[in-house]
Amino acid sequence: MVMKLLPKPRGKVTRKPISGKKSDQRNKFHNNETYPDLHYGKALVYNDFSKKIIQENPGIIKAVNFLSKNVSERRFVDPKNKFEILRVTNFIKSTQVDKPPRGALTNNSFVIKINEGKKELRFFLKEQRGLSIRELILLKSAEKVIQKSGFSIIQPHLAFEKFDPNPELSGSNILAHSYILYDFTNKLTVKDARKLNKLSLKELLDIDQRLVDLQDELHDTHSIPIENLTISNCFIDLSKKPYGLYLFDPIFDAWGNITQSKKEYAVLKKKFVNQ
C-alpha cells in the first residue's frame, strides 16, 4: 500500500546553502546534544551532506516516524514524489527457527530514495536498540586504518539517539529511539557470497583472517574499541579483482575493561566531531 499522508509544510522552509566540496560535506561531522540531566535527553551526530538532504526534504523525518509506528505499512511516497521510503522486510530479526536472525538489535530498517532530477540517491536507515552514535564514531575513526588494511567502509551520514526516563527502573537511561543513516548498497555479504558458491573456502578463510588481524590492530595499536568485524558484516564487490570489501555495523567493545573502553571512545569522539 502506498501512503501519501503527510501534509504540505506550512510557510517557507529555510534552506541555507551548504558550502564546500562534496567530499568535505560527507566527512565533516557535527555534534548536537541536549542532556538536561543524566536520565534523559537526545544527541545527534551528522555531516553537512545529511543536513542538506533533510533541509531539501523536510518530510522525511515525519515519514520515517510514521513507518516506524505503523509496522504493517511497507512504503511511503512523498506527495511531490521527491522521496520514497521502503521498509526492508528481510533485514528484520526473524522469529522462525529455520531462519537465523540478521541484525539482532535492529527494530526497523528502510531504504530511502531521493529524487534529484535525473539522479536518484539511495540510503539505508537502521532503527535499532544499539547505540547508533557510537557505531558511526567508531567506523569513521577507524576508516584510515581500515583502508590501509585493504578494506573500505559503507559511508555513514547521520546518527540520532533519544533517551527517556523510565520510572520502573528508578530513572535509568532508556534508549527510546536510535537511528543511523548509511549509503545504500545491494552487494552481497562475504558470508552470503560463500553460501552461493561465489567464493572459495580458501578465499573466505583469507578474508576472515584479515578481519581478525584488522580488529586486533585497531585494539592493540590504535586503541579503537571496535568489534563485530566479521564476514556477516562485510560486503563484497565480486566484479573487482582483488575483491572490493566494505565494512559496516561495528559494535563498541565493552567486554574487556569497560571503564578503559569508554575512555577510549570518549577520546575518539572528541577528536572526530566538532564540539
4-63, pLDDT tens digit by residue? 444 444 444 444 554 556 666 788 899 887 765 555 678 899 999 999 999 999 899 999
Helix or strand run (H / E) with residue 89: none
Q: Which residues are within 8 A (CB) of 184 and not within 5 positions of it... i.e. 6 or more apart?
A: 111, 112, 122, 123, 124
**pTM, full prediction:** 0.81
Phi, psi (5° rounding) for residue 228? 75, 25
In sequence order, what are the residues at sequence separation of 6 or more whose Cβ sits closer than 8 angstroms to the Cβ of residue 196?
A: 188
**CB atoms near residue 136 (< 10 Å):** 26
Positive/negative CA dihedral, 13, 274, 248, 256 = negative
Provide the mean pLDDT of the chain: 81
Rounded to whole angstroms, the Cα distance separating 48 from 139 reads 18
Query: What's phi and psi for 185, nearest 5 deg?
Result: -140, 145
Give the three cell numbers for residue 12: 517557507
Name the E strands within 117-247.
Answer: 119-128, 152-153, 156-165, 173-183, 188-189, 226-227, 234-237, 244-247
Give one DSSP letter per residue of 28-77, joined into a string.
Answer: -EEEEEEEEETTEEEEEEEEHHHHHHHHH-TTHHHHHHHHHH-TT--EEE
The answer to whether residue 92 scores a pLDDT higher than 50 is no
Write down the domain spans for the chain: 2-270
Q: What are phi and psi of 274, to 5 degrees?
A: -60, 130
* pLDDT at residue 27 in the model: 81
Tell me the three cell numbers of residue 183: 549509503
With vertex at residue 193, the alpha carbon angle to CA 189 and CA 196, rounded to the nearest 5 degrees, is: 140
| For range 54-79, the mean pLDDT | 90
Instruction: Give the pLDDT band (50/70/90) at residue 257.
Output: low
At 16, list the grid cell: 541555507
